[in-house]
């Protein structure tokens, strides 16, 4: 990590449901000694900072405060959650133009101040906004990361863990592509502690593989819609995903996570951001880890990439 940023400091831009839940989870993580909150609505940032800071005596020392852009340029990571949230029935891609305009007011602040840390984009549609952040911030590609399908992959592991009655951490699988409707499960490489998925299913008495996997993939793909229909926003799962990614960065874990990053011909995809497993550490993202895909999966991934490319082009990115 460059010595121009403080590895114990994180900032969150946008303190709505997702930003405040992320700050709350980050406060409890013990990873940081400073958490700075920025919002266009300064009072909202101040209120959230006060509320979250009252939990500090139960955890361990960390300063949580409302801030401006000048205060956060030494943060190792800036988590960007500013934006309009998805309304019931609205797709993530519907949000694109509204949230690009919001990003046009935020990201140049980092460019102006020559920010040296890592931007973690969470606002939706996350793949398009990661691309927008890359262009608007002027930061190198390895330091602009979208939370991508880290959350979707956690949802998948939860569902598979329940289906198989096994610890979800023993399930190894990735959701790849868009964080959204065209995302897909890399089923052919899915395993449970090294045991191929279908073998493990049979060990647990499940034999209708295709039916079960289709149902689980649909459930995962639609879970944000279901939560939004029931409680208007999703925030706890994404908050934990933010902590997971921040931990990989500041602890230089070199973890393999399906975050959204710029593609340069990997799997035949070029010039857009989407999620594939990559190594995440203190420099941001590095090597794409080659995932073995069968022909059908490869085609679905290319279709997901095309859907994103069409949106990026129509948004002028
Ligand atoms: P929200 O409406 O509760 O909060 C948005 C916040 O952004 C508000 O506090 C608002 O004042 C602030 N904001 C707006 N414009 C700003 C600007 N120019 N500068 C600074 N702050 C600004 O919304 P939410 O539920 O917190 O969702 C935030 C975003 O996160 C949405 O785009 C949502 O779709 C996305 N999201 C992403 C994931 C994921 O997995 N990537 C999951 C859930 C939600």
**Can you identify the CATH homologous superfamily of domain 6-146?**
NAD(P)-binding Rossmann-like Domain (3.40.50.720)
Nearest 5°: phi and psi at 45? -65, -40
pLDDT digits (tens, 9 = 90+) for 172-200: 999 999 999 999 999 999 999 999 999 99
Distance (Å) from CA 175 to ligand 1 centroid? 23
Q: Which of 172, 179, 232, 288 is catalytic?
A: 179
264 is catalytic: no
Ligand 1 atom nearest to 19, measured from its CA: 26
Q: Which residue has its alpha carbon closest to ligand 1 atom 30?
A: 123
Distance (Å) from CA 122 to ligand 1 centroid? 8
CA–CA gap between residue 49 and residue 7 (Å, rounded): 20
CA–CA gap between residue 195 and residue 236 (Å, rounded): 30
Which CATH number describes the domain made up of 150-314? Answer: 3.90.110.10
Residue 98 burial (10 A CB sphere; 0-12, 13-18, 19+): exposed
In tens digits, the chain (317 residues) has pLDDT values of: 555 899 999 999 999 999 999 999 999 999 999 999 999 999 999 999 999 999 999 999 999 999 999 999 999 999 999 998 777 777 766 789 899 999 999 999 999 999 999 999 999 999 999 999 999 999 999 999 999 999 999 999 999 999 999 999 999 999 999 999 999 999 999 999 999 999 999 999 999 989 999 999 999 999 999 999 999 899 999 999 999 999 999 999 999 999 999 999 999 999 999 999 999 999 999 999 999 999 999 999 999 999 999 999 988 89
Ligand 1 atom nearest to 38, measured from its CA: 20
Ligand 1: residues whose CB is within 6 Å?
13-19, 39-41, 44, 81-83, 85-86, 95, 99, 102, 105-106, 122-124, 126, 147, 151, 179, 233-234, 238
Per domain, the residue ranges of the chain are 6-146, 150-314
pLDDT digits (tens, 9 = 90+) for 156-168: 999 999 999 999 9
CA 230 to chain centre: 22
Distance (Å) from CA 7 to ligand 1 centroid? 24
């Amino acid at each position: 990590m460059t010595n121009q940023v403080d590895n114990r400091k994180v900032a969150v831009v946008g303190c709505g449901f997702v930003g405040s839940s992320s700050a709350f989870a980050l406060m409890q993580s013990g990873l940081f000694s400073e958490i700075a909150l920025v919002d266009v609505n300064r009072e909202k940032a101040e209120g959230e900072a006060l509320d979250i800071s009252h939990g500090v005596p139960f955890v361990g020392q960390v300063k949580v405060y409302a801030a401006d852009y000048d205060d956060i340029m030494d943060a190792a990571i800036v988590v960007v959650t500013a934006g309009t949230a998805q309304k019931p029935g609205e797709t993530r891609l519907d949000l694109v133009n509204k949230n690009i305009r919001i990003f046009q007011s935020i990201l140049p602040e980092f460019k102006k101040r020559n920010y040296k840390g890592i931007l973690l984009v969470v606002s939706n549609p996350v793949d398009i906004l990661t691309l927008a952040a890359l262009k608007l911030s002027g930061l190198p590609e390895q330091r602009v990361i979208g939370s991508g399908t880290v959350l979707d992959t956690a949802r998948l592991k939860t569902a598979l863990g329940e289906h198989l009655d096994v610890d979800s951490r023993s399930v190894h699988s990735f959701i790849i592509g868009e964080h959204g409707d065209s995302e897909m499960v890399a089923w052919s490489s899915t395993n449970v502690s090294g045991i191929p998925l279908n073998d493990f299913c049979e060990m647990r008495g499940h034999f209708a593989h295709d039916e079960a996997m289709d149902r689980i993939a649909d459930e995962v793909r639609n879970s944000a819609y279901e939560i939004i229909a029931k409680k208007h926003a999703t925030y706890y799962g994404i908050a934990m995903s933010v902590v997971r990614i921040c931990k990989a960065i500041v602890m230089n874990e070199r973890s393999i996570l399906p975050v959204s990053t710029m593609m340069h011909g990997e799997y035949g995809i070029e010039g857009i951001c989407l999620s594939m497993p990559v190594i995440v550490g203190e420099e941001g993202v590095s090597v794409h880890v080659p995932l073995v895909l069968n022909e059908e999966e490869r085609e679905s991934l290319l279709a997901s990439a095309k859907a994103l490319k069409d949106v990026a082009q129509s948004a002028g990115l």
